[in-house]
Structure 1
Amino acid sequence: MHPLYLKKNTKSFEQSFQMQHARVPHTYDTWHCHQELELNAIIKGTGTRFIGDHVGAFSDGDMVLVGSNLPHVWKNDKEYYQGQDTLYAELMNFFFLEDFAGKELFQLPELQPIQNLLQRASQGIRIYGKTSETIQRKMKKIFRLTAGERVITLMQILNIIAHSDEVELLASPGFINSYQANNTSRINKVYDFIMNNFLEEITLEQVAEVASMNVTAFCRYFKRVTKKSFVQFLNEIRIGYACKLLLDEKLTVSQICYESGFNNLSNFNKHFKAATKHTPQHYKLQHQSSVGNKGLS
């Protein structure tokens, strides 16, 4: 099964973009994509986000601009699926096409930064800091505005992001280029299998079978499409998930090694340092230190 393609009615006689403010037991947790760009703001909730080949933790205040047809999913922590009444996810989403304000508007020289932003969103853009706080306030107010005021406010939001330094590109250029050039049933099946099973042991034989290829042919195919070996790609996904687990003070590095899909601690340490330039323990201590400093400020 490839990423679910969702068709949204964002261009109608009544509206030029869609918006929603929802409070739900957990986020929509199916790997999917859609033609519209999506501005996603997590008001309340914790878990793991997958944007292309990016894996990262999310928590209250998380904000991402997802580009057109970029596969993604936000998955809440497992506690959200255990029927606890005190746990819920609250989020706001805006969905809009690149030409929601007209095909010619963003061609104006004055609006070139917004046009560039929409192109960069093909990798997914995390927005943080004061910029995220400002935009979330505007997103909350937009539900009380008239239709015309909503369009103007969305333009203001995009302009703020376009001129902010508090942004981070998420998916790798290699993933985007290969995904756009090879958006076929075969590679989508492979990506979907990896995203749903990376915490378990995955053999080359298994993933080659998903792609309906023998192991040798699959290895060549995957390297050509992603510019990475299958093992390298899988390890990067697992390391991204491990970074999220390292934010949990209750888990030891050894526990995180096995929780994130590795079966050897020394191998985990080696791959983690290669990917992040830090040992897992240093990464964990660094995070705890930054949290402590915030608490003292």
Structure 2
Amino acid sequence: MFLIVLSIFSLLTTGYILLATKNHFQGKNAKRVWLFFLVASFLWELSTILYVYIYFQPAYGKATLLSNIAMAGFVALNISKLVLIGFLLLNDTLRLTLWPIKSVKNKRVVPLDSRRKFITNMGLLTAAVPFSGLIYGAIAGKYDYKVWQHKLVFGSLPESFKGLRIAQISDVHIGSFDDPLAVRSGLLKLMSYQPDLILFTGDLVNNLAIEADEYVELFKEVLHAPLGKYAVLGNHDYGEYVQWPNEEEKVRNQREIQNRYRQMGFELLNNTHT
């Protein structure tokens, strides 16, 4: 049912954009290019829906470069289309508002027609921003790791705690990555700050324990701290976003995820303290 709804939504939005912009482009070549782009985007969306929800199913497995590109394109196209549709609706509202005036005067309102064209151009340019940004972020930007430093000052802090460096890692969602070498570079960047203590505050995976299999040795090898490595589970680590065949499978997956944390060298604090 969800597949059908997405397909209908894609068809309706593409059709509306085609109708709303059919007179915007001048010349046969420009119109053909625009028509080709819209048809290609619609086919891309349909193929992505089929690939993701029938063959790949990202909620149940590990991402690949192909699946990341497909999903990024799907999300980027739909967000960009919604942005463009907002401008086109503004244009249509303006056209409907002025239609009685134009009918009475029986002449073309040139300044307003020019303004509508300007609005459409602005819509096209604005829609290109999220499209390019999302594509870059899904393919390359997700590996542009940043380390944020915060200095904490407490008047009652024991002398032995002064200068302590605590590294926090969170929401890795390791199943979304397809380049172990890039992940390694991020971990090495963190280790360049020589943390005394490493805290992992949840969401190692998207849903499944198998997502982390390829990265267990990497996290174990690269991440070290004199005072240890500790972790807690995140909401995604409980597998709440998967339709499990039974409760036993869900519990088994939770236990496997906990084991992945331990295999990476983390002491898992599951309703415990140390």
Q: Per the shorter chain, which TM-score range?
A: under 0.3
Larger Rg: 2
Normalising to structure 2: TM-score of the pair? 0.26
Normalising to structure 1: TM-score of the pair? 0.25
Of Structure 1 and Structure 2, which has the larger fraction of its residues in strand?
1
